[in-house]
Amino acid sequence: MLTRDLAALYLVIAAASAACVKRGCETDADCANGYACLPVEQASGTEQVCVETSCRVDEDCGGVGACTMFAHFDGCSTQAVLTCTDPAGECTADTDCADGEQCLPVDEEADYASLSAEAPLTCVTLGKSCAIGRPLVVGDEVRAASLAARGDWATPSDVALPDTAGRSRLASWWATVAAMEHASVASFARASLELMALGAPPDLLRDTHLAAMDEVEHARLAYGLVERFSGAPAGPGPLSLEGVAPATEVDGIARALIREGCVGETVGAALALAQSRTCEDPALAAILARIADDEARHAELAWRTLRWLVAERGIDAQWADELVQAEVLALKETLDDGSDGLGGWGLLSGPQAAQVTETIHRLLCPDEAGTAR
């Protein structure tokens, strides 16, 4: 696994993007055990999707709570579950929580924020972490700047416009992408300091800074699309750097590199390429294809950095491979929901995104998936 070069990654990414298929449902028989085929309201209309359930009607809750659907948009797609409320618990609805928090059944054992029909309801701020771009992670928080009305960041765009509901949804999604791409600049800046502390060779430092420059352009393109779809000026507000500091332990540096770079950038590149292939507008497809190409190079940089850490800084190769498998599986599970996409505008459905990640899981983790490298 650690011998991946750019050509090999392109094959992985291309195969994953080609595996992107629509997977809806008509009846419960189309869903896995523990899931039900239910109507879920989306921006583009009501769709029948597979939803994880611990109940179907209020009577299933033993006369204590109500069987209620809870949902969270994580930047790529909407996770939805059907579960019982508990009046004695921390919350039963968002109104029970502070501003900016949601009442959600969150699986606290998952490495990534993930909803579970079996988890208790708690007030949480999950944020949006699966959009394209290397995240800026501080502790367990994905850090990004808020959207601001400013005119100096956006690259003008002439992409076509969908209907009003579609514009609103696309503006929201691209605002998430833009914030993540903007935060990626800080993530690569921190990575460069960590590499310098480890005595990294010049090619890794050079390419890390070039990747940060790519992310500036990605953010400008994304803010341009926010402006196009929303009709309002868009750019980043101030980015909080509280707690942002380079790691000093090589194990911690390697762990973050695997999660955010090797896995995150590889999946991000495959998702962007899949989005470009489902997009019917040529201008928007070209933007997504450019981002996919850049993210593929960033993924290769992450794998190359990991190889150097194994060869020169004592990181155990087996430990690294096992962590890659765990991170791919964790990310795959967060995308495996039934949310719908948005036609030919490059916004993948949850099942499409999950199919892309499933293919990457099979190709990068053959020990689990049973395929050859």
Q: Spell out the domain ranges in the chain.
A: 6-22+129-369, 28-124
Average pLDDT over residues 194-213: 97
- Percentage of the chain modeled with pLDDT above 70: 80
Rounded Cα distance between 2 and 291, Å, is: 24
Compute φ and ψ for 25, nearest 5 degrees: -155, 155
- Inter-residue contact 174 to 226 (CB < 8 Å): yes
> What is the per-residue pLDDT across 289-334, written as a single tens digit (0 to 9) for each?
999 989 989 999 999 999 999 999 999 988 998 888 888 777 766 6
- Inter-residue contact 122 to 106 (CB < 8 Å): yes
pTM for this structure? 0.70
**Which two tokens mark 56?**
């179907």
What rounded mean pLDDT belongs to the chain? 82
> What is the per-residue pLDDT across 7-51, written as a single tens digit (0 to 9) for each?
555 556 555 555 443 335 788 887 778 888 887 664 445 667 778
Average pLDDT over residues 170-174: 91
pLDDT tops 70 at residue 74: no
Q: What is the pLDDT of residue 175?
A: 94
